[in-house]
């Protein structure tokens, strides 16, 4: 894989995950701090960006980006882009990489779903347990027609825009799953699966690789609820990826999550937009974009349409514009 940067934001002292990622020889690790991060944060082989360093980095984004927010990660992305990253790997400080952690190549031949299936529950191809990704439409949870059949997966050559690696033990599920079941899940080992155009599955920011051509799509909305942030990003990204000839792929679990403490009822409240909006988001983005535009232009048009639907606010558009200006300058 080309030169890769791993980006994390953290309010904790260096965790097991941070230490293990920092010791991977073929990657550069960037950690973006926040107001709650320890003042003496330090770890070998890590570029740590304190809030002061973030403000001094010269990015337009920092003029409007909130503190004490997951979106501080975006300063880490911009730093990695400035450093020449060809792939940015998004993860969190509670996702510990297994030995041999890596992503498949961004171009190749992979088992691929049928096209135009709408939302599918990719977790069902990696486990028999009754589980679904955060952001998956609730009305489809019991609908077997929205599971991919193994017999329908065909080898195809694809340009992968985003790889989502799964996480063992406490994978990315919604608060409803955690409140009613919460069984630990260790996913099956298997070959990756790529989703064809029109076949959709939520993806997150916990073990995710994005190629340089799609760096504008790393934008993390900062004026929506916390649990909707990366899910909205992933939903917006997929129609734009299709428009530009890229695909989303999923791999077996390559990290184990030792999850930081959460209040599941508060998570549920924060996830309400995830439950109400997935189909609206896909429809809005799809009608707003065109293959004739750049990736950045399509992202801007997508968010303008989401604002009309009251899914995002005018503040979000203002921050997005700063982000797009920064990315355009750094990738010119």
**Percent of the chain's residues with pLDDT above 70:** 99
What pLDDT, in 10s, does the model give residues 266-293? 999 999 999 999 999 999 999 999 999 9
Q: Which residues pair with 6 in a beta bridge?
A: 29, 89
Q: What was the pLDDT predicted at 8? A: 98
Is the confidence at residue 1, as pLDDT, over 60? no
CA–CA gap between residue 221 and residue 74 (Å, rounded): 10
Lowest mean pLDDT among 173-177, 261-265, 266-270: 261-265
Residue 199 pLDDT more than 70?
A: yes
Q: Which residues of 252-284 are buried (b: 16+ CB within 10 A; e: fewer)?
A: bbbbbbeeeeeeeeebbebbebbbebbeebbeb
Contact 274, 228 (CB under 8 A): yes
Digit-coded pLDDT (tens) for 42-66: 999 999 999 999 999 999 999 999 9
Q: Please state, in angstroms and rounded to a whole number, the distance separating the CA atoms of residues 176 and 166.
A: 19
Please state, in angstroms and rounded to a whole number, the distance separating the CA atoms of residues 271 and 262: 13
The residue assigned the tokens 């508060």 is 266
Architecture per CATH, domain 4-331, reads as Alpha-Beta Complex (3.90)
Work out the pLDDT band at 225, boundaries 50, 70, 90: very high
Q: 216, 91 in Cβ contact below 8 A?
A: no
> Whose structure tokens read 């080992």?
189
Choice among 18-22, 172-176, 211-215, 260-264 with the minimum mean pLDDT: 260-264
How confident is the model at residue 332, as a pLDDT? 87
Cβ proximity of 152 and 114 under 8 Å: yes
pTM metric for this prediction: 0.97
Q: Which one has a higher pLDDT value, 289 or 146?
A: 289
Q: Of 166, 129, 317, 161, which Cα lies nearest the Cα of 251?
A: 166
pLDDT, position 262: 81
> How do residues 21-33 score in pLDDT, each as one tens digit?
999 999 999 999 9
Q: Taking the C-alpha atoms of 324, 330, 331 and 332 in order, what is their torsion angle to the nearest 10 degrees?
A: 100
Please choose, from the candidates 306, 294, 299, the residue with its C-alpha nearest in 3D space to the C-alpha of residue 320: 299
Residue 69 pLDDT > 70: yes
Mean pLDDT of 245-254: 98
Residue 222 CA neighbour count, 13 Å, CB half: 25
- Dihedral of the alpha carbons of 302, 303, 304, 308, in degrees to the nearest 10: 100
Residue 230 has pLDDT above 80, yes or no: yes
**C-alpha distances in Å from residue 142, one per residue of 3, 139, 147, 201, 222:** 41, 7, 10, 15, 32
Q: What is the mean predicted confidence (pLDDT) over 223-242?
A: 98
User: Model confidence at 259, in pLDDT bands (50, 70, 90)?
Assistant: confident
| Three state DSSP letters for the chain | CCCEEEEEECCCCCCHHHHHHHCCCCEEEEEECCCCCCCCCCCCCEEEECHHHHHHCCCHHHHCCCCCCHHHHHHHHHHHHHCCCCEEEEECCCEEECCCCCCCCCEEEEEECCCCCEECCHHHHCCCCCCCCCCCCHHHCCCHHHCCCHHHCEEEEEEEEEEEEEEEECCCCCHHHHHHCCCCECCCCCCCEEECCCEECCCCCCEEEEEHHHHHHHCCCCCCCHHHHHHHHHHHHHHHHHHCCCEEEEEEEEEEECCCCCCHHHHHHHHHHHHHCHHHHHHHHHHHCCCCCCHHHHHHHHHHHHHHCCCCCHHHHHHHHHHHHHHHHHHC
Mean per-residue pLDDT of the chain: 96
Q: How far apart are CA 57 and CA 81, in angstroms?
A: 13
pLDDT at position 261 is 73
- Token readout for 26 is 């073929």
**Predicted local distance difference test score (pLDDT) of residue 2:** 53
CB 201 within 8 A of CB 132: no
pLDDT digits (tens, 9 = 90+) for 81-136: 999 999 999 999 999 999 999 999 999 999 999 999 999 999 999 999 999 999 99
């Amino acid at each position: 894989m080309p030169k890769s940067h791993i980006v994390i934001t953290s309010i904790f002292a260096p965790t097991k995950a941070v230490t293990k990622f920092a010791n991977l020889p073929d990657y550069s690790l960037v950690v973006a701090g926040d107001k709650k991060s320890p003042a003496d944060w330090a770890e070998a082989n890590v570029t740590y960006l304190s809030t002061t360093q973030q403000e001094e980095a010269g990015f337009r984004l920092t003029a409007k980006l909130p503190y004490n927010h997951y979106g501080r990660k975006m300063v880490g992305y911009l730093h990695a882009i400035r450093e020449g990253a060809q792939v940015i790997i998004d993860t969190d400080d509670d996702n510990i990489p297994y030995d041999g952690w890596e992503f498949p190549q961004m171009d190749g031949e992979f088992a691929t779903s049928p096209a135009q299936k709408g939302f599918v529950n990719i977790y069902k191809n990696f486990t028999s347990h009754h589980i679904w990704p955060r952001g998956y439409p609730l009305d489809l949870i019991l609908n077997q027609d929205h599971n991919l059949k193994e017999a329908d997966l065909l080898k195809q050559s694809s340009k992968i825009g985003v790889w989502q690696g799964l996480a063992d033990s406490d994978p990315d599920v919604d608060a409803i799953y955690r409140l009613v079941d919460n069984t630990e899940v260790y996913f099956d080992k298997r070959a990756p699966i790529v989703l064809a155009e029109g076949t959709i599955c939520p993806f997150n920011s916990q073990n995710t690789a994005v190629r340089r051509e799609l760096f504008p799509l790393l934008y993390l909305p900062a004026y929506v609820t916390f649990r909707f942030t990366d899910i909205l990003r992933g939903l917006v990204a997929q129609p734009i990826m299709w428009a530009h000839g890229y695909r989303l792929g999923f791999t077996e679990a390559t990290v184990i999550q030792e999850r930081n403490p959460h209040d599941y009822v508060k998570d549920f409240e924060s996830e309400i937009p995830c439950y109400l909006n997935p189909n609206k988001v896909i429809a809005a983005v799809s009608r707003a974009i065109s293959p004739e535009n750049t990736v950045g232009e399509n992202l801007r048009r997508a968010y303008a349409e989401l604002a009309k639907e009251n899914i995002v606010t005018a503040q979000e558009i203002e921050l997005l514009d700063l982000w797009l200006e920064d990315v355009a300058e750094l990738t010119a």
